[in-house]
Amino acid sequence: MASRFKFKAWDKKKRMLTRPGRVEFVRGELVLPNCIILQFTGFCDMMGQEIYEEDVLLIGEKKYRVYWDEEAVTWKYRHGAQAHKLNQRFAATTVRGYNAYEKTEPA
């Protein structure tokens, strides 16, 4: 069975999330000009929304940012200074609020 990878992209020029149609590979890496590629974590929130890299998950007023931890080689979520491994049990208690890039100020 082949692995299936899903991505969204933050378009830096349009300042919006998009679903890439065509991407290029350069030395084995995905390249999408003027975009930041965000990978699907494999988890969904309690509403069935897919959770992607840099998404902000909500539980009430608390916000948790999802990111890839290179050192631990796993998806994690952070609230303040504390970080934890992302898992389906936690994801199923959250609602995907937005992607962190959607809330950044223009450069």
pLDDT tens digits for range 6-59: 999 999 999 999 988 877 889 988 889 889 999 999 999 999 999 999 999 999
How many helices (H) does the chain have, and how many strands (E)?
A: 1, 11
What is the extent of the structural domain holding 12? Answer: 7-103
Residue 1 in domain: no
Cα 22 to Cα 6, 31, 33, 103: the distances in Å are: 13, 10, 11, 26
Residue 2 in domain: no
Number of domains in the chain: 1
Q: Are 79 and 62 in contact (CB under 8 A)?
A: yes
Find all residues with CB under 8 Å of 21, minimum gap 6, and list them.
none
Which of 27-41, 42-56, 68-82, 87-101 comes out lowest in average pLDDT?
Answer: 27-41
Q: Are 23 and 32 in contact (CB under 8 A)?
A: yes
Residue 55 in domain: yes
Binning pLDDT at 50, 70 and 90, where does residue 103 land?
Answer: confident
